[in-house]
Amino acid sequence: MADFTGKVVIVTGAGDGIGRAAAREFAEKDAKLVLIDIKGVEAIAEELRGKDCEVIAASMDVRDAAAWDSLVGDVLARFGTIDALVNNAGVAVPGDTAADVSEEVWDKIMDVNAKGVWLGMRAVLPTMISKKSGKICNVASTAAHIGLKNAAAYCASKGAVLALTRQAGVQYAPLNIQINSVSPGTTMTGLQRDVTEEQRAAFLPLTPIGRFAASEEVSAVIVFLCSTGSSFMTGADVSIDGGMVAL
């Protein structure tokens, strides 16, 4: 079993879904946690503090570069290091097609899903580089691998996450920093509130396992990719999609 005793882990999008499930699992493995979300993060932080987990909770927009710099300064002041980053925060908007998506919506999706991942990596990498050790797990999507209808900006943003993960995984491999990603299929998270019933109905026949994922099934792989068990993996993507991409 992975042991995160003394390890400091940052999780974005921790207020709900996959991020919240990951926070709980890291806490069970004795990590010190830094939980980020625009809302809901204090509730999970209080839950974990009640289980004797050391937690910093930050209501923060991952698109805010200055907020990232301030957060990392606070984390280093309190804990002295950063061992892992989980870039999980993301948004989706129904009816997102190349012909119809507004520039405002396009920019929002790209900024949260792609730029937010890069800003998180940029903020933590100097610490990891200086100590020649670190783990980053970015949350991509099956949308990075296949063309999902009504998800143009979402597919583009998650494709960017996948490409950045591969590039950075290669770039920092010689420094003992492993950077990987997961590509969940349809997962029952809060993000599903922004997906139509029609879209959900279309996804199910594309999933050979015949059901959608629970958040914990995705978070278990995220925790593995942040553990010593993944020490010879970098620039890799793990599909957690019930066989969707294999079709």
pLDDT score for 2 = 82
pLDDT score for 201 = 76
Judging by DSSP bridges, how do beta strands 8-12 and 237-240 pair with one another?
unpaired
CATH number at residue 230: 3.40.50.720
Contact between 34 and 58 (Cβ < 8 Å): yes
Global pTM value: 0.94
Give how far Cα 223 sits from Cα of 36, 38, 104, 232, Å.
17, 22, 34, 15
User: 189-194 long-range CB contacts below 8 Å, 24 or more apart?
Assistant: 189/16, 189/17, 189/18, 189/215, 190/16, 190/17, 191/16, 191/17, 191/90, 191/91, 191/92, 194/91, 194/92, 194/93, 194/94
Q: Is residue 3 part of a domain?
A: no
How confident is the model over 31-50, as pLDDT tens digits? 999 999 999 999 999 999 99
User: In the predicted model, what is the mean pLDDT of residues 58-68?
Assistant: 98
Contact between 208 and 243 (Cβ < 8 Å): yes
Identify the band that residue 230 occupies on the pLDDT scale cut at 50, 70 and 90.
very high
pLDDT score for 81 = 98
Residues 134, 195: Cα–Cα separation, whole Å? 34
pLDDT score for 195 = 61
pLDDT score of 14 more than 90:
yes
Q: Is residue 125 part of a domain?
A: yes
Q: Is residue 88 part of a domain?
A: yes
Residues 63, 114: Cα–Cα separation, whole Å? 9
Count of domains forming the chain: 1
Q: Is residue 246 part of a domain?
A: no
Q: Is residue 140 part of a domain?
A: yes
Q: Is residue 177 part of a domain?
A: yes
Residue 205: strand, helix, or coil: helix
Residues 230, 222: Cα–Cα separation, whole Å? 10
Please give the residue range of the domain that contains residue 221. 8-240
Residues 94, 101: Cα–Cα separation, whole Å? 10
How confident is the model over 164-214, as pLDDT tens digits? 999 999 999 999 999 999 999 988 766 555 566 776 777 788 899 998 899
Active site positions, annotated: 154
How confident is the model over 69-103, as pLDDT tens digits? 999 999 999 999 999 999 999 999 988 999 999 99
pLDDT score for 206 = 85
Q: Is residue 86 part of a domain?
A: yes
Contact between 115 and 162 (Cβ < 8 Å): no
pLDDT score for 186 = 86
Q: Is residue 65 part of a domain?
A: yes
